[in-house]
Amino acid sequence: GAGVSQSPRYKVAKRGQDVALRCDPISGHVSLFWYQQALGQGPEFLTYFQNEAQLDKSGLPSDRFFAERPEGSVSTLKIQRTQQEDSAVYLCASSLATRAYEQYFGPGTRLTVT
Amino acid sequence: AQSVTQLDSQVPVFEEAPVELRCNYSSSVSVYLFWYVQYPNQGLQLLLKYLSGSTLVKGINGFEAEFNKSQTSFHLRKPSVHISDTAEYFCAVNPKYSGGGADGLTFGKGTHLIIQP
């Protein structure tokens, strides 16, 4: 079946612009996670949804970062007033509710802020 | 909180030679353990996982890993590597929950496996 998809795959933004990154999870996966992967580093947890409820946003680095999943499927990660330090690959993962530890990752969106 | 340490940022190995990628973790609770592989410009692919039971787990592409609770390690091994194994490898942990709930994975910084012909 189809895996996790993310769009766009690449995004270049000028500093100060707002961006929106989309994630389509695997059908039937109620858990959805966002991670940030800086160059040469491992992914770092940003936020977690179970259906439409955002249960953990402890990893969001600032109030410029906002995530939503209004209908419990597609999710959007929004970054307002982008800064150069926001440049990274943003990864989305989904999982079954009963096996939330077993996460399936999308290809990521590479964000470059100039 | 959990932390994962991958001591080797790069491991060069000749083709058909064995390889071991090291992973140590720290956690105040029991954890599940994972190894992921990331090929250039791609997302993470699950190689193998340890949930419970036998401490030796086998994964895809001929990889295996052994959980050592006393040493808090989960080293990844392959007896004979191929050029196509060139990639970034990440060790990760996730805390066990008895009553549901979920946490994000905690990853190490990764080890770049370089296969030399």
Write down the pLDDT at residue B101: 55
Q: Is B54 on the interface with A (CB under 8 A)?
A: no
Write down the pLDDT at residue B54: 92
Q: Is B93 on the interface with A (CB under 8 A)?
A: no
Q: Is B11 on the interface with A (CB under 8 A)?
A: no
Which tens digit of pLDDT belongs to each residue from B58-108?
A: 999 999 999 999 999 999 999 999 999 999 999 999 888 755 556 789 999
> Span B7-31, mean pLDDT?
95
Distance CA A79, CA A84 (A): 12
Asked if A42 lies within 8 A of B101 by C-beta distance, the reply is: no
Where is A109: in which H helix or E strand? strand A109-113
**Do you know the residue count of chain A?**
114
Measured between its terminal Cα atoms, the distance across chain B in Å is: 41
Interface test with A, best of B9, B48, B98, B105 (most A CBs within 10 A): B105
> Span B17-33, mean pLDDT?
95
Distance CA B111, CA B7 (A): 8
Q: Which domains, ranges and CATH numbers included, belong to chain A?
A: 5-113 (2.60.40.10)
Q: Which chain A residues are closer than 8 Å to B48 by Cβ?
A: none
Residue whose C-alpha is closest to residue B28's, from B106, B117, B83: B106
Q: Are strands B106-107 and B111-116 parallel, antiparallel or unpaired?
A: unpaired
**What letter represents residue B65's amino acid?**
A
Asked if B107 lies within 8 A of A101 by C-beta distance, the reply is: no
Which tens digit of pLDDT belongs to each residue from A65-97?
A: 999 999 999 999 999 999 999 999 999 999 987
Residue B34 vs residues A16, A68, A73, B83, B108: alpha-carbon distances, Å: 37, 27, 25, 23, 11
Mean pLDDT estimate for chain A? 94
Structure tokens that stand for B46 in this block: 């699950």
**What letter represents residue B68's amino acid?**
N
Task: Please say if the pLDDT value at position B117 is more than 90.
Answer: no
Which tens digit of pLDDT belongs to each residue from A24-42?
A: 999 999 999 999 999 989 9
Asked if B4 lies within 8 A of A100 by C-beta distance, the reply is: no
Contact between A35 and A23 (Cβ < 8 Å): no
CA of A55 vs chain B CAs: smallest distance (Å): 9
* Spans of all domains in chain B: 2-116
Q: Which residue in B42, B43, B109 is closest to A42 by CB distance?
A: B109
Q: Which chain A residues are closer than 8 Å to B34 by Cβ?
A: 101
Residue where the block lists tokens 């410009």: B41
Burial class (CB in 10 A: 0-12, 13-18, 19+), B40: exposed
Q: What class has domain B2-116?
A: mainly beta
Residue A8 preceded by cis peptide, ω within 30? yes
**What letter represents residue A3's amino acid?**
G
Q: Is A44 on the interface with B (CB under 8 A)?
A: yes
- Long-range pairs for A51-56 at CB < 8 Å and ≥24 separation? A55/B101, A55/B102, A56/B102, A56/B103, A56/B104
Q: Which chain B residues are closer than 8 Å to A59 by Cβ?
A: 104
Write down the pLDDT at residue A1: 55
Q: What angle do CA A9, B45, B116 make, to 5 degrees?
A: 100
- Neighbour tally for A27: CB within 10 Å: 9
